[in-house]
Amino acid sequence: QVQLVESGGGLVQPGGSLRLSCTASGFTFDYYAVAWFRQAPGKEREGVSCISSADRRTVYANSVKGRFTITRDNRKNTVYLQMTSLKSEDTAIYYCATRSPVSPRYCSNSGPGIYDYDYRGQGTQVTVSA
């Protein structure tokens, strides 16, 4: 059974940090690129970041570049999203996704939200508020 489980969300003050985790099971995780998305109430889904499997190349949305870092640990079947200098506009449900039928191993150079993915998790809430 394929599963993606996110964790690490919570309430944090502006300027603070959080580290999200996405742990996978039920498929060959290390073969696939993994992306993080977020969706805030009343807003479109936004691709936040992506990490390729073949060369670990990373891609970020302009809105988070320089503040967020994506990494992966294939031994633990886990992808991390380290978020720093958080802003109120980062408030959203964050979820991970993987297995793009278009490009299974590589992220798009045009941005982390370009491809659709077959698998996604339920998400974890991040709230940035004083």
Q: What is the pLDDT of residues 78-114, one digit of tens each?
A: 999 999 999 999 999 999 999 999 999 999 988 898 8
Which helix H or strand E contains 20, and what residues bound it?
strand 18-25
Given a cut of 90, whether residue 48 has pLDDT beyond it is: yes
Q: What is the mean pLDDT of residues 67-82?
A: 97
Average pLDDT, the chain: 96
Two tokens, residue 129: 């508020």
Residue positions counted in the chain: 130
pLDDT at 15 over 90: yes
pLDDT digits (tens, 9 = 90+) for 117-129: 999 999 999 999 9
pLDDT in tens, 27-41: 999 999 999 999 999
DSSP states along 50-113: EE-SSS--EEE-TTTTTTEEEEEEGGGTEEEEEE-S--GGG-EEEEEEE--SS-SS---TT-TT
Neighbours of 128 (CB within 10 A): 20
Reported confidence tier of residue 54, pLDDT bands at 50, 70, 90: confident
What's the confidence (pLDDT) of residue 76? Answer: 97
